[in-house]
Chains A and B, each alone.
Chain A
Amino acid sequence: MTQRIAYNIIQVLVVMIFSPLIKGIIDRLKERVQSKKGPSIFQVYRDIRKLFHKDEVISEESSWIFRFTPYIVFVAPIFVALLIPVLTDYPLFFAFMGDMLAGGSILALGGFFAVLAAIDTGNPYGPMGASRTRMVGFLAEPVFMIVFFTVSFVAGSTIPYIVQQAWITPVANFFAPAHILVLLAFLMLIIAENGRIPVDNPSGHFELAMIDESKGLEYSGRGAALMKWGGCMKFFVLLCIFLNVLVCPWGLADTGSSWGLLLAIPLILLKMLVFVIILVVIESSLSKLRLFRISEFMGAAFVTSVVAVVIQLAGM
């Protein structure tokens, strides 16, 4: 029992500690692919640490939402990390407190406050980015729902641990068409939610074209550090859901021993590394979509997930 609580806390610590590393790896890899040298993979740690030591400058026009949001954005992925399988195969202490829908809602809560905060300050670029984020978000919500429903329908439950088992127990299930289609839809979703190319350019500095980056525009000092870290953690958490539940449910600790747990840490990082490489290839070969084409992109994701549902239901 205490072991389970301990593992849960270790899981959260893993998420907190390693998420900036993943972001650093992505940035560096992208630069290398473009034949540049790129920053060190630990640069994000240094940035966060630097930001914590700086002063905060807050606009007088903003309200409590602006001050409160960085904490919410930071804490939301932590709560979600309690619920999903990051290191272990079997449900941990908090696993049954919320299912995948709850996880999605908590992340959405973070996003919601980020959007509000962007509007809060009166900066003209904030609301622009916020409205675009909401456009992408509202198009992505149905896909989320349908993906979760499809995936849960097979397993008969919405708890991610149980769903994960359902996909790997007969191995043939892995190749089920609904699974592959759900994979594709979820991949498109991750790209949209985290603001990667082709939906948004994460390394752009041009405020007029920002979608996801705009939420951190006005922050400085501790607020900026928390927003940045929270963004990295959100990405890490979504990746965990994607990789551990859908793509590669193997390599997680299945016994209760602490060695198993420690072994699972480099394995999850390895899985993330592979995915990051694929993501970098996708990002480097596509170009950013024009704004109203994003709805087509999300439409394609939606239709993919609908087809997955139909095939799943009809093939029963």
Chain B
Amino acid sequence: MVQLNALAGALFVLTVFGIVGMRQVIGSLRLFVIQSLLLAGSACILGYEYTSVHLFVVAGITIFTKAFMIPWLLYHMLSHEIHARREITQVLNIPTSLLIAAGLVIGSYFMVRPLLDIGAGAFLKVNLPIGVAGLLIGGYAITVRREALPQLLGILTMENGAFLAGVCIAPNLPLMAELAAAFDVLIIALVVGLLTRSIQKRVGSTLVGKMTSLKEE
């Protein structure tokens, strides 16, 4: 069981790297779906271990919102964006980004070490550092990408990382909080999707990295 959870965590890290290193938006979106499924898998494993139905519900909510609703929403609102076979413009090239992401993984292990010394659990050792790594790498992905949809995927990756850490350290958070947090992610996707659509209509492209007219020059 521990190994399976660790496997889910390792594949989660791989998908996070993939989101940073992918060139196509569709690929990133599919990786995001896989990532959410892995998150749900980890939640199920933890639910089985701690025998809490609560975590199974969380897994179900995750699959519903992140693996179905969000891609569906994005397909419908931004199909032009997603199916465009353009490559994502980045500030740094991909190998450098991948190396920085690997560095961030190592950094997150260091960051959570004082916490791990206290609560020694096999699940904790996997979920917490990988969750924080997802957070950091998602944030990095936002700064490095120049387009709207990849930045949204960066935000959603950050939330996924936070949830991965959360299912392990806070398995008994009241259900309402979890539900609300999950729908909150849905609302984020909705809002950002609509905003991207308005940007596309008004400005003509979603290269948000080039929208720098409000600087202090």
Residue in A175, A181, A299, A314 whose CB lies within 8 Å of B125? A314
A162→B14 CA distance, assembly (Å): 28
Q: Is the CB of B6 within 8 A of A177?
A: yes
Task: Knowing A299-B94, A314-B109 are in contact, say whether A175-B10 is a contact too (CB < 8 A).
Answer: no
Q: Contact flags (1/0) for A280-302 with B, using CB distance below 8 Å?
A: 00000000000000011001101
Number of A-B contacts (CB under 8 A): 69
Which residues of B sit under 8 angstroms from A184, Cβ to Cβ?
A: 14
Which of B60-68, B99-107, B181-189, B204-212 lines the interface with chain A? B99-107
CB neighbors of A among B1-29 (8 A): 3-4, 6-7, 9-11, 13-14, 17, 21
Kindly state whether residue A197 has any CB partner on chain B within 8 Å.
no
Q: Is the CB of B98 within 8 A of A307?
A: no
Kindly state whether residue A19 has any CB partner on chain B within 8 Å.
no
Kindly state whether residue A310 has any CB partner on chain B within 8 Å.
yes
Kindly state whether residue B129 has any CB partner on chain A within 8 Å.
yes
A176→B3 CA distance, assembly (Å): 5
Residue in B3, B7, B102, B122 whose CB lies within 8 Å of A307? B102
Which residues of B sit under 8 angstroms from A299, Cβ to Cβ?
A: 21, 94-95, 98-99
Give the number of residues in B that approach A within 8 Å (Cβ atoms): 24
A311→B127 CA distance, assembly (Å): 11
Kindly state whether residue B37 has any CB partner on chain A within 8 Å.
no
Task: Knowing A295-B95, A296-B94, A315-B125 are in contact, say whether A310-B106 is a contact too (CB < 8 A).
Answer: yes
CB neighbors of A among B116-154 (8 A): 122, 125-126, 129
Q: Is the CB of A303 within 8 A of B126?
A: no
Q: Is the CB of B14 within 8 A of A307?
A: yes
Report the minimum CB–CB distance from A292 to chain B (whole Å): 9
Report the minimum CB–CB distance from B121 to chain A (whole Å): 12
Which residues of A sit under 8 angstroms from B101, Cβ to Cβ?
A: 303
Q: Is the CB of B10 within 8 A of A303?
A: no
> Which residue of B has the minimal Cβ distance to A311?
B10
Q: Is the CB of B14 within 8 A of A304?
A: yes
A241→B99 CA distance, assembly (Å): 27
Q: Contact flags (1/0) for B159-186 with A, using CB distance below 8 Å?
A: 0000000000000000000000000000
Q: Is the CB of A300 within 8 A of B98?
A: yes
> Which residue of A has the minimal Cβ distance to B3?
A175
A184→B7 CA distance, assembly (Å): 13
Report the minimum CB–CB distance from B49 to chain A (whole Å): 15
Report the minimum CB–CB distance from B129 to chain A (whole Å): 7
CB neighbors of B among A116-132 (8 A): none
Which residues of A sit under 8 angstroms from B17, Cβ to Cβ?
A: 300, 303-304, 307
Residue in B3, B105, B106, B129 whose CB lies within 8 Å of A172? B3
A306→B13 CA distance, assembly (Å): 11
Which residue, B17, B95, B129, has most C-beta atoms of chain A within 10 A?
B95
Report the minimum CB–CB distance from B109 to chain A (whole Å): 5
Which residues of A sit under 8 angstroms from B122, Cβ to Cβ?
A: 315
Which residue, A184, A299, A300, A308, has most C-beta atoms of chain B within 10 A?
A299
Report the minimum CB–CB distance from B183 to chain A (whole Å): 31
Kindly state whether residue A180 has any CB partner on chain B within 8 Å.
yes
Q: Contact flags (1/0) for B41-59 with A, using CB distance below 8 Å?
A: 0000000000000000000
Q: Is the CB of A175 within 8 A of B7?
A: yes
Which residues of B sit under 8 angstroms from A306, Cβ to Cβ?
A: 102, 105
Kindly state whether residue A178 has any CB partner on chain B within 8 Å.
yes
Some 13 contacts from A to B, beta carbons below 8 A apart, are A175-B4, A176-B3, A176-B7, A177-B3, A177-B6, A296-B94, A299-B21, A300-B21, A300-B98, A302-B102, A307-B10, A307-B102, A311-B126
Interfacial residues, chain A to chain B (CB-CB below 8 A): 172-173, 175-178, 180-181, 184, 295-296, 299-300, 302-304, 306-308, 310-311, 314-315
